[in-house]
Amino acid sequence: MDNREKFDLDTIDKKILSYLIENARIPFLEIAKQCGISGAAVHQRVKKLEEAGIIEGSGFRINPRQLGYDFCAFIGVYLNSAKQYRDVIDKLVVIPEIVEAHFLTGHYALLVKLFCLNNTHLMEILLNTIQNIPGVERTETFISLDQPIYRQINLETFDNKTPNT
């Protein structure tokens, strides 16, 4: 939730979310059977979770490597000035290989995740695109060798606290 209002997730909400995390295409009637409630109740709860900003959408997880994007890299971006953050993001968002960008504390102003076809493709994006963006002072690149962990937030350990409480 953007306004940080407390939304109390009960056991049924957590079960619904667990099923949706496991398989976003699972029919609501199947979830209803597993939870012991009606399909309409599942629909209403999912709608409330969406309105609260807890569910931000659904979709498929695409495997970039199966599409030939064998290089996953993280680029630490140093900015000339933190004030240039928004302008740099506006330039980065149009680069289709970039799948994530994070504004950070610490050494880098930004950490960008991208997928490339190969080393040459990565070098092209770095030298001819990212490093030419006004405000980018320099970059540092890390190549991902493997992604042994990928998961959503663990609902079992979620303590239902509102941030900053």
Q: Which residues are CB-contacts of 69 (< 8 A; sequence separation ≥ 6)?
A: 97, 115, 116, 117
Confidence band, pLDDT 50/70/90 cuts, at residue 8:
confident
In single-letter form, the type of residue at position 59 comes to: G
Confidence band, pLDDT 50/70/90 cuts, at residue 160:
low
**Alpha helices, DSSP H only, in 66-137?**
85-92, 119-128
- pLDDT score for 3: 47
Using DSSP bridges, classify how beta strands 71-79 and 136-144 pair: parallel, antiparallel or unpaired.
antiparallel
Q: Which fold has domain 11-51?
A: Arc Repressor Mutant, subunit A (1.10.10)
Please tell me what DSSP assigns to residue 130: G
The pTM of this model reads 0.80
Query: Looking at the domain that runs over 64-144, which CATH code has it been given?
Result: 3.30.70.920
For the chain, which residues make up each domain, given as ranges?
Answer: 11-51, 64-144
Contact 125, 96 (CB under 8 A): no
CB atoms within 10 A of CB 141: 15
pLDDT in tens, 82-109: 899 999 999 999 999 999 999 999 999 9
